[in-house]
Structures are given as C-alpha cells and as structure tokens.
Amino acid sequence: MTTTTLQALVSDLRRALGPRHVLDTPEDLIAFEYDATIERALPDVAVFPATTEEVAAAVLLARRYGVPVVPRGSGTGLSGGAVPVNGGVMVVLTRMNRIVEIDTLDRVAVVQPGVINLHLQEALAPHGLTWAPDPSSQRVCTVGGNVANNSGGPHTLAHGSTVNHVLALEVVLPDGRIVNLGSRVPDAPGIDLRGLMVGSEGTLGIVTRATLRLVRASESVRTFLAVFDSVEAASEAVSGVIRRGIIPVAMEMLDQEIIRIVEPRIHAGYPLDAGAVLLIEVEGLAEGVAQDAATVEAACLEAGAREVRSAEAKAERDALWEGRKAAIGAIGAAAPAFYLLDGVVPRTRLPAVMKQVMALTAEYGFRCANVFHAGDGNLHPNIMFDPAEPDAERRVLALGEAIMRVCVDAGGSVTGEHGVGLEKRSYMEWVFRPADLDAMTMARDAFGGAGFFNPCKVLPGGHGCATGHAAELAAVMSDPRVYV
C-alpha cells in the first residue's frame, strides 16, 4: 500500500470511528506487532471500535482499500494468531468490554468480545454461577479471544472447551454484513455455523457479541496436591484415577523445573524436592465429592505418591491454584525469554512422550519447564532461552517443531487449546489429508475471508504466505511490514 493510499484509509477510518480511536504512527503501532509468541509484524493502522456498527464500518473500509483485517483482543494468544503478517487494519476489540446481560433464570450471559474472562467470572459469582472456560491467562484474556481460539483451561477435562459453552454469536462478516449465528436456546435448527465460528481464529468473521451458557457453581469442591518423585509416577496416577471411573474437573501436572521456578515466587506450597506434583480437583454434591475424593487419594498413593494433601477451604484451594495459574508468568522472571508449546497426546503415552521431550530439549541445549493439563494429555513444554544468543530463535523453533512431531507420532495433535494461528499452520499437513484441508479452505472461502480476514493463519499455504515455520520467522524478521 502506498503512502498516499494509507493516508486516505486512515482519514476515512478517523471519520468513521473518531480520531482518538485510530492509531497509525510507528511508536503507537509497535504495541500491536506481537502477541505472546515469538513472531513480530506491524499493522498499517490500528482501530478501536466501540460498537458492532463501527466494526462493520472498519471492515468495509479495509475492503474498499484492498487491505487485510486482523482482529485482536488482549494480545495474550499463544500461536501468533493476532500477528498482522500482511499488515493492514488491526481491529482491537478492547473497548467493547460490556457485560450486556446476566440472566440467572435461563443461566445465560450476553457479553461483548472485549470482556475479560475473570471480570465475567467475578460478575457471575454472586449469583452462584460461572462460565466454565478458565484459561490460565483469565486475568487478562478476553471472551472474544476465548471464542476465536476455542480456548480451554484447567477445568476443560470435565466441562469441555469454549465451544461447549457458547450458544450464539453476533458476527461481522468479511463483506461487512452483521449476522447472528446460533440461538439463545440449545440445539437451534440448521447448520451449526456457531460451532464453525468458534475456533476459526478470526479467519471467518469478527465476533461482536457472544451469548454464553452458564453453569451453577458446585455445592462442594475438593482440591488435592499429590506429590511424586517423577513425572512417570504422576502420569500413572492420572490413568489410575480415570481407570476407577472418576473424571475430575481438573488434573494438572507441574514438573520439578517449573516447581523450582514458581514456588519461591508464589509460595503455593509445592515441595521443592518433588519430581512432579498433580493438582486434582473434584466437585459436585457433598456426598459424591467425599466418595470421589477417597478414590482419588487411593489412586495417587497406589501410583507412588509420597504425600496427598487435601484442600477443602477456599483459601487453601486458591493458594494451590495460584501456583498453577501464575506458573507461566514466573518463567518470565527466571529466563530472558521462553517459547510455550501446546501439543496433545493420549494420556497413556504421557510418560514416553515426556521422556522424548526432555531428551530433545537436552539435545538442543535448552532448559524446559513443563506445566500441563495431564488429564486430557495436553502438554505445555516451556523452552527457556536467551534471544541475544546467536541462532537461539532458529534453534528454539526447530526444537518446537521436533516436539510437535513427537506428539503427532504418538497419536496426538499439534494444538489442544492455543489454536493454530501462524505458529503451527505448517504442521496441519501432519494431521490432515489434502482432502480434509481442502474442505476447510472451501468453508473459509465461502465466508469470503481468503486473503482478507487474518491471512496466513490456520491453513497451510496461501497467496503471499511463506511455507514452513522457519521461512515464516525469517520473513517477519527481515521486514516486519512485508510478509511474502
């Protein structure tokens, strides 16, 4: 886009949204060139709409000038999904942060996309209700981002991910039309376009309002901290609990490396000499929770737990969970940089896959801290490195690719909850046949988003998109405004 064309676009956007809500100087745009991954790329302009109509106006102007649109929430994504690799108009939805309605009788909430996950939970708590998706970043991530990535969290083992808790969506399509997908009541007739939109990562449309299904907070909750000498023993306990017919609401594992990083900072009560700890939570009616708790404790002890602590009071539970949810942030204080991965393997393959992950990390010469959703086999290796070290980023990405390959070879997948984005689109061919990817491409094209809405994300290939993660990184680093 020429300078003259960009100036004309910015002028039109300022007329549509107001001058204060359009940014185009380099010093302002630098805050929007990245999310929580390694990749970097600058948008040409960032806009901050307050209404659905303003979102539609921005989309129509971008279409008129032939530039891409990239939606963004809080920028906490972990797959490069909000990185504007082809420049264009970034639509930042943080001003649209209103909780429109909480219906306690029908257990429904209607919210704008910029609502922070935790703010919604706090608003629901006095009513004895909750929205089940609870990503570890819930203090800063938005509901719109949760919808875009079909986000999970520690409690998805029992409750399921975001798609299971969204009833309807208001969406701005690539041609500027405003449509409503789904229904306030479950099982609406017709093709489930609501389900298709959840997890589409901004490639099909921009969500401007979400109708959410709420669940009642449980009568009784019990949280356990089970301490093990090894990841292998903790993994056996995971299988042992589920073999006994118990599906906890959460089963989280932290290995020794992450324990030694997080405990001195958070003081959650994790033993520093533990090889691994499991956080296991059961909930429900008091009588059932007591029975499930006994079963969980027995399974952990049989698997070799040297200690199983039970936290019944809310303050105790909160302390244990604070260590888990603050773990990623604690890594940031322990290393100059880290690269967070997201892969899935069958639960029974956890011990073998973890051995391979640690062997690969040592082979590449990095430290790795692991904190993950053990109950559903969702791994999160955190590779720590120093960006100032020559060739470090290339080696980190190569290691990440090798770890993802291990997950796929074990019968798993390349993402469990962080999305595909830019980071893993080159890996999609490992898990899908060409015909499968063609079907996804046709669905995207039917919405009119090809090359226009969040280009170079989710699906491999594409006009103006590099091939392979190493090529993607090299392209962005060589010129963050031109991605070819």
Same domain? For 227 and 321 the reply is yes
Q: Is residue 52 in some structural domain?
A: no
| pLDDT per residue as tens digits for the range 341-369 | 999 999 889 989 999 999 999 999 999 99
Asked whether residue 230 is assigned to any structural domain, the reply reads yes
C-alpha 476/C-alpha 479 separation (Å) is 5
Which residues of the chain fall below pLDDT 50? 468, 470, 476-477, 479-484
Domain end call among 395, 422, 449? 422
Q: For residue 463, what pLDDT is reported?
A: 56
- Write the burial class of residue 251 (CB in 10 Å: 0-12 exposed, 13-18 middle, 19+ buried): buried
| Residue where one domain finishes, among candidates 380, 403, 422 | 422
pLDDT for the residue 479: 47
pLDDT value at residue 155: 85
Asked if residue 396 lies in contact with residue 39, where contact means CB atoms within 8 angstroms, the answer is no
- Is residue 134 one of the residues assigned to a domain? no
* Token reading at 268: 């959650």
pTM to 2 decimals? 0.91
| 240 and 296 belong to one structural domain | yes
How much is the pLDDT for 332? 85
Residue 329 structure tokens: 């942030």
Question: Do 299 and 344 fall into the same domain?
Answer: no
User: What CATH number is associated with residue 295?
Assistant: 3.30.70.2190
DSSP string, 448-482: T-TTTBSTTSSSS--TT--SSHHHHHHHHHH-TT-
pLDDT digit string, tens, across residues 305-332: 999 999 878 888 899 999 998 898 899 8
Q: Can you name the residues that pair with 96 across neighbouring β-strands?
A: none
- C-alpha to C-alpha distance for 294 and 435, rounded to whole angstroms: 48
Residue 466: the pLDDT is 58
Using DSSP, state whether 259 is helix, strand or coil.
Answer: helix
In a domain, 86, yes or no: no
Is 355 within a domain?
yes
296 and 225 inside one domain: yes
451 part of a folded domain: no
250: phi > 0 → left, psi -120 to 50 → alpha, else beta; which?
beta
Domain count for the chain, please give it. 2
**pLDDT score, position 480:** 41
Q: 206: closest CA among 108, 305, 89? A: 89
User: Does residue 342 contact residue 417 with C-beta atoms inside 8 Å?
Assistant: yes
Last residue of a domain, one of 307, 325, 343: 325
Same domain for 339 and 308: no
State whether 386 and 411 are in the same domain. Answer: yes
Q: Report how far residue 206's alpha carbon sits from residue 174's, in angstroms, rounded to the nearest whole number.
A: 8
CA dist 86 and 456 (Å) reads 8
Say whether both 274 and 321 belong to one domain.
Answer: yes
Same domain, 386 and 364: yes
Q: How far apart are CA 432 and CA 416, in angstroms?
A: 15
Q: With beta carbons less than 8 A apart as the criterion, state whether 68 and 84 touch.
A: yes
**DSSP helix/strand/coil, 59:** helix
Do 245 and 317 lie in one domain? The reply is: yes
| Alpha carbons 323 and 325: distance in angstroms, whole number | 6
20 token code pair:
């204060």
Based on the fold, state whether residues 228 and 303 are members of the same structural domain. Answer: yes
Residue 451's Cβ-side half-sphere holds a number of Cα atoms within 13 Å equal to: 6
Helix (H, G, I), strand (E, B) or coil at 18: coil
Within this chain, do residues 405 and 363 fall inside the same structural domain, yes or no? yes
Q: Are 273 and 346 part of one and the same domain?
A: no
Give the Cα separation of 302 and 101 in Å (integer).
Answer: 48
State whether residue 134 is helix, strand or coil.
coil
CATH code of the domain covering residue 366: 3.30.70.2740
Residue 315, pLDDT score: 87
- Structural domain that includes position 360: 335-422
457 within domain boundaries: no
Looking at the domain assignment, is residue 431 inside a domain? no
